[in-house]
Structure 1
């Protein structure tokens, strides 16, 4: 099957203004809020995972819509909350660092040392070497040794769930050329096709998202990022299995439906500054958004997103629409 699916995406009516409804700051602090309920995957052993996307940790930068000066505090808050909930594992869906600087990787490792649960991470485009870097970004092999089971792709079991991690961020030659696009290499696709049949409840994680957002935004808008490269082949590898795909990158929570199930996770660094709590059990999978900032912090992130650039303002408006009517999808 090569049907690329669709994103569950809601746009506010053109006659509606922000003053007509609850403010986005209040909505973002209402959580934990249910983002999606999927009938699959299911697990006999009830398993809870924290999925953290786009922390963009920076040890010395300030500002922008990613609120760099709060990134360490937000990551520490997410780790503390995950510890309090006693999660079975933590999954990082990419862009652990602001842009791959060694000192930021060290800062992230220092925060993650406080985790009570085991964790795995996949790299985002900001974590891998790029041709235009003005600093020495550690190679992906070092990322895998430090934040993953030592290689990509990987399979790790947390409770009753298999986490399959893919590297969608690296270019074939080892460095990205002035782009934030991503792709799943042929060898990883082959691995995925052979591994998925061995799993009963699988979460497949890559930084880059499945297709569907572009069709959902409509002719008057645009998708914040294109989907992962060679998307039909990736969809084909996932289709027919009781797997759920998790990604980040877009800084926009969205549910992907169709031939495959997927969730684009909210960003930890930017509005709404939240992580995703995934609960997998006999009845299916529930995904909840867990805010980590107080009201003042969310207001700051919302203001910076709305005013930093046209693009960040558009994404902030999309996030507001998504938060206005949850869950995004409910199969149960």
Structure 2
């Protein structure tokens, strides 16, 4: 059995500081083999927020794969957003926005779904370009023989409660590629509400792990277990400063 702790939408700068240490302790209790953070580490992509995110990642008890979310590129620094939107990510978090972690039996592959602009009003919706999809396919091919899990901020499928939200551009092509390659799961966030697995390959959406911007569901993280069958997701929510198993999924 392989265990992955899935966090998302941490939003340093709009987070709950008292939850940080209990969250790290709760994750450590389950001794995950790896930790996936599916984007929105920051609220406004400010240096101080990225510094907090980097310190948080350094304190986690397992290897981490983190990808950016739409909040991790600047919204108001227009020149930077258009010409070098991931500059601060590279400075504080990682030289890459599409990391790959290979462990015995498991490959965690990051997919950067952030877009600086959209052909529609919802610039937060994300997308998968042809170039990123080609790199993803190459990473999956290189991971042959392992369980492959993709980490992407934007869900390629939406639950019924979010059908009014714009899907990422290129989502259908990305799903077809991952389905054909036998990807075991796609770990995502963005919607701030956890869900049961959606479709094939299953999209597992995590709620907001630390942000005060919860949407009807307490802060949480997901323990995802991979074995011979479908992945098993166990959602943990914060009740005060105590983390407990939860049954509430959208």
Relative to the length of structure 1, the TM-score reads 0.63
Q: Which residue of 2 aligns with 1:285?
A: 231
Q: Which residue of 2 aligns with 1:253?
A: 194
Structure 1 runs of 4+ off > 6 angstroms?
134-138, 295-298
Q: 1:190 aligns with which of 131, 134, 149?
A: 134
**Aligned partners of 1:266 and 1:289 also within 8 Å:** no
Q: Output aligned runs, 1:1-332, within 5 Å.
A: 46-58=1-13, 68=14, 70=16, 72-130=17-75, 132-133=76-77, 139-144=85-90, 146-148=92-94, 150-171=95-116, 179-199=123-143, 200-213=146-159, 216-217=160-161, 223=163, 225-243=165-183, 244-268=185-209, 269=211, 270=214, 271-294=217-240, 323=248
Structure 1 unmatched runs, 5+:
1-45, 59-67, 299-319
**Residues 282/145 of structure 1: CA separation in 2 closer, same or farther (3 Å cut):** farther
Shift of 1:249: 0.2
**Aligned partners of 1:207 and 1:247 also within 8 Å:** yes
**Aligned partners of 2:179 and 2:201 also within 8 Å:** yes
Shift of 1:265: 1.3
- Kindly tell me the number of residue pairs found equivalent between the two proteins: 238
**Residues 133/178 of structure 1: CA separation in 2 closer, same or farther (3 Å cut):** farther
**Aligned partners of 1:74 and 1:293 also within 8 Å:** no
- The structure, 1 or 2, with the larger RCO (C-alpha pairs under 8 Å, 6+ apart) is 1
Q: Which residue of 2 aligns with 1:307?
A: none
Q: Which residue of 2 aligns with 1:24?
A: none
Separation in 2 of the partners of 1:106 and 1:161?
Answer: 29
Q: Which residue of 2 aligns with 1:12?
A: none
Shift of 1:296: 9.6
Shift of 1:171: 2.4
